[in-house]
Amino acid sequence: MRYPLTVVLTALLLAGCEPQSDNPLGSGLNDRPDQQVQTLVIEPGPDWLDTGYYGYGNTDGGNTVAVGRVNDTLVRCLIDFKIEDLPDDVTAENLYRARVEYYYTEAPGIANWRPFSQGELVVDVCAVLSEWEDVETTWLKRTDDSEWDDPGADYGSPFGSFILDDPPSGYGEIHSFDVTSLVSYWLEDPDAEYGLLLMAQDEDTADVVKEFYSDDIDNSNNRPHLVVTWESSSGEKKEHRLEAWQDITIADDESQPDPLVYGSSSALPLSAAFGTGGRLVFDFDLSRLPSDATVNLAELELYASFPGRDAGITVAAQPLEDDFAEDDTQGDLRRLELSDTKVTGDLEPAPPGYAKINVTSIIQDWITGTEDQHGLVLKINQERGYQDPVWFWTEEADDDRLPRLVIKYTLPPEHWYDEEPEERVTTPE
């Protein structure tokens, strides 16, 4: 596929991986000036793999949760309260009213400031039917080792609905929606309480995304609260506020169904949209890199276009723990396990050219056996927000835009040479 070129970026992903590499020289080329630096250039060939997919990222830690739809992306959010922390005398029989309060505002760079956030959205309130963990939950997964029965969360029929219209700007306001019938259901069966799900009432036609502050916002007064009013035995009405203990946004791009196969296209996107986003996957033949080499610098050089953007983004390179193939489906690729090792850095808009992605520690760990080599994923570090795509050219591109992996390395003393360092290039047979 072909996409127009406008602004292109140059980037360097700096150190910051966990766990740390055992590389004794770090990533500097002048640590031991007496050593001769060798150069290995790996270019696309029979053993070069690249493809793309739309992954599901965990959005925990964001200042907002979101609901609605933007283009092909469905957005839902889950909010959970510990009903067992309500006063003991609150029962389904004496419950008078229950509502969820949320802080609603239009704040540039935080909430409801983009063009697709303007307009009205009717939202359904459903009960979540399965346990979930906000630090693990995505469109696909509910816990570290369990998927939803159906992607997008396990939930029942709506208990009610409400309207999110245009929010106030500036300081914002506390708004609320009614959940009396849902809380009554939980009080009658506390074991069924797994929180609530918010989704657009008509997800097929919705065209806006609305946000409000999450349980991660610094000001606790602006976090979601469940406010319960009940009638005591004396006839007095009492009220109790219960802060949300976990919430999360999940999202799915409907244009990227599980059976879809990308293969390798000439250009692939890196993007993010409220918990889903375009990712790239690479693997290389490192057989010509000596196993006793110290990798001083390894850069994945990708021709890239950054259309429509004037701000940088933070990108992560993350090793895979499973093998992949270019003909894997979106569903296969979404279920790949990523290593905890991660290298991050900033991409800044620049004139057309190559982005240089520093993957030094990853390559070093592969050749020393610290990590098994299965390939790596390139993704936007935090997929919780919305980021317009950056396009990277792949092995299917024209010759002047082909990707390459450039490795600078040194060898132990017994391999030192008197002649000039050799440049070795691997190319297709």
DSSP letters spanning 34-91 = TSPPEEEEE-SSTT-EEEEEEEE---TT-SEEEEEEETTEEEEEEEE--GGGS-TT--
Question: 338 near 377, Cβ under 8 Å?
Answer: yes
In a domain, 63, yes or no: no
Give the integer Cα–Cα distance in Å for 103 and 206: 22
CATH of the domain at 172: 2.60.120
- Residue 300 domain-assigned (yes or no): yes
Whether 112 and 140 share a structural domain: yes
What is the per-residue pLDDT for 30?
47
348: exposed, middle or buried (Cβ count in 10 Å: 0-12, 13-18, 19+): middle
Looking at the fold, whether 128 and 192 belong to one and the same domain comes out as yes
The answer on 157 and 81 residing in a single domain is: yes
In a domain, 81, yes or no: yes
- Assess if residue 2 is contained within a domain: no
The reply to whether 332 and 278 lie within a common domain is yes
**Statement to judge: residues 33 and 156 lie in one domain:** no
Q: Are residues 392 and 283 in the same domain?
A: yes
Q: Are residues 45 and 81 in the same domain?
A: no
C-alpha 105/C-alpha 108 separation (Å) is 10
Helices (H) and strands (E) in the chain, counts: 3, 26
Convert the pLDDT of each residue in 85-122 to its tens digit. 999 999 999 999 999 999 999 988 888 999 999 999 99
Rg (CA), the chain: 25
| Residue 20, pLDDT score | 34
Task: Label residues 225-235 b or e (16+ Cβ within 10 Å = b).
Answer: bbebbbeeeee
129 and 262 in a single domain? The answer is no
Find the farthest-apart pair of alpha carbons in the chain and give their distance in angstroms, rounded: 96
pLDDT at 28 (0 to 100): 44
Q: Which amino acid is at 165?
A: D
Q: What share of the chain is helix, strand, coil (3-state, %, to 5)?
A: 10, 45, 45
Domain boundary among 196, 226, 253: 253
Domain total of the chain: 2
Domain boundary, last residue among 233, 253, 273: 253
Same domain, 110 and 232: yes
- Asked if residue 213 belongs to a domain, the reply is yes
Same domain, 287 and 399: yes
Domain assignment present for 349: yes
Containing H/E element for 252? strand 246-253
- AA letter at 256: Q
Q: What confidence score (pLDDT) does residue 424 get?
A: 59
**Antiparallel, parallel or unpaired: β 38-42 and 423-426:** parallel
CA–CA separation, 138 vs 91, rounded Å? Answer: 33
Q: Domain limits at 217?
A: 73-253
Per-residue pLDDT reduced to its tens digit, 242-279: 999 999 999 999 999 999 998 768 999 999 999 999 99
Q: Which residues of the chain register pLDDT less than 70?
A: 1-35, 264, 308-310, 349-350, 414-429
Spatial neighbors of 150 by CB under 8 A, at least 6 apart, are: none
How many angstroms separate the CA atoms of 60 and 70, rounded?
20
The model carries a pTM of: 0.86
- Of the residues 205, 238, 253, which one is the last residue of a structural domain? 253
Q: Are strands 353-358 and 294-305 parallel, antiparallel or unpaired?
A: antiparallel
Beta bridge partners of 358: 299
- Residue 249 CA to residue 245 CA, distance in Å, equals 14
In a domain, 67, yes or no: no
How is residue 420 annotated by DSSP?
P
Q: Is residue 209 part of a domain?
A: yes
Query: Do 197 and 164 lie in a common domain?
Result: yes
Q: Which two tokens stand for residue 265?
A: 């296209």
> Whole-angstrom Cα distance, residue 350 to residue 292?
37
Rounded distance between C-alpha atoms, residue 328 and residue 309, angstroms: 31
Same domain, 130 and 51: no
